[in-house]
């Protein structure tokens, strides 16, 4: 579990990617989030979960990210050619009243042949024992980020054709102390947390923070939104995950624990009507 507040960023250790690892083929990793980090009664009611999503694409296929993002921007800004460079946002451009946009987004995301997707989902109601996570949004966010990056590191190690170096870019988050977050991740990478065996050296350090101008961050936001749509539906309704099913082949490796990691009770996912179909694809 994450420890107490981390020291200021100025005290962070300096990590350098060894030259031989820097020569490895690259993976581009884009990370965004969905849901909120609050644990108040209102927050738990409006957003019973918080999730982070990583979109992983090999460098040689980075053009597919740019191509897909440009296509989705053209879709949502149709009739407004002067806005075709305006970034897309799930909350703003893929509202429930635009089901056709959600469906098309899932279709084009699914067409990126070598993409892999990783989700870490925190179910707030079953984190009662984890008081540190519940009482401090920073600790909660940092711990979720750590679990996601661990899976990114293993993905880089196990990539088909040989290990790669992951270049991770995280979306900027409002009201978050990004320096404290970076310091915490440095401590984890430096061995001050129980992450024995995680190949941290396969992530170019440090991960960077970027805004939504980056095409990959926009697509990670859409992936996270499709997950949100599935998790926000009635657990007995399989249709709410129809679009998520279209991209389930991109989930990394063994599904539960790797492609999808649940913080809390796994039944939050596994007892949903759509889960058996998702895990069997």
State the CATH number of the domain containing residue 123.
3.30.420
Burial of 171 (0-12, 13-18, 19+ CB in 10 A): buried
Q: Classify residue 1: in a domain, yes or no.
A: no
Question: What predicted TM-score, i.e. pTM, was given to this entire model?
Answer: 0.90
Q: What angle do CA 19, 145, 21 make, to 5 degrees?
A: 10
pLDDT of residue 225: 97
Select from 235, 222, 153 the least CA-distant residue to 189: 153
Condensed to tens digits (0 to 9), the pLDDT of residues 52-86 reads 999 999 999 999 999 999 999 999 998 777 777 88
Q: Classify residue 9: in a domain, yes or no.
A: no
Residue 277 host element (H or E): helix 275-279
**Domain around 219:** 17-279
Q: Classify residue 84: in a domain, yes or no.
A: yes
Q: Classify residue 10: in a domain, yes or no.
A: no
pLDDT of residue 253: 66
pLDDT of residue 56: 98
Residue ranges for the chain with pLDDT beneath 70: 1-15, 38-40, 43, 45, 128-131, 194, 253-254, 280-281
The CA-atom distances, in angstroms, between 91 and each of 94, 210, 228 are 6, 18, 11
Provide the number of structural domains found in the chain: 1
């Amino acid at each position: 579990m994450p420890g107490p507040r981390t020291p200021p960023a100025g005290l962070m250790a300096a990590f350098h990617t060894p030259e031989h690892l820097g020569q490895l083929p690259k993976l581009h990793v884009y990370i965004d989030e969905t849901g909120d980090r609050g644990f108040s009664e209102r927050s738990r009611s409006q957003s019973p979960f918080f999730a982070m999503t990583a979109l992983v694409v090999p460098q040689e296929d980075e053009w597919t990210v740019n191509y897909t993002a440009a296509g989705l921007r053209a879709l949502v800004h149709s009739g407004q050619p002067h806005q075709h460079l305006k970034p897309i946002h799930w909350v703003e451009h893929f509202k429930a009243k635009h089901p056709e946009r959600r469906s098309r987004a899932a279709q084009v995301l699914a067409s990126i042949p070598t993409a892999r997707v990783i989700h870490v989902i925190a179910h707030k109601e079953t984190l009662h024992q984890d008081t540190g996570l519940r009482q401090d949004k920073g600790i909660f966010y940092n711990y979720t980020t750590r679990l996601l990056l661990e899976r990114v590191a293993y993905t880089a190690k196990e990539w088909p054709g040989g290990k790669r170096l992951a270049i991770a870019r995280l979306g900027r988050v409002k009201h978050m102390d990004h320096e404290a977050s970076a310091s915490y991740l440095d401590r984890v990478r430096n061995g001050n947390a129980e992450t024995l065996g995680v190949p941290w050296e396969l992530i170019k350090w440090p991960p960077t923070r970027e805004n939504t101008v980056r095409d990959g961050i926009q697509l990670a936001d859409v992936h996270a939104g499709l997950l949100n749509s599935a998790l926000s539906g009635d657990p007995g309704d399989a249709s709410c995950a129809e679009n998520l099913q279209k991209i389930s082949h991109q989930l990394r490796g063994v599904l539960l624990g790797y492609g999808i990691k649940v913080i809390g009770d796994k039944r939050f996912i596994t007892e949903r009507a759509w889960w058996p179909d998702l895990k069997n694809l």
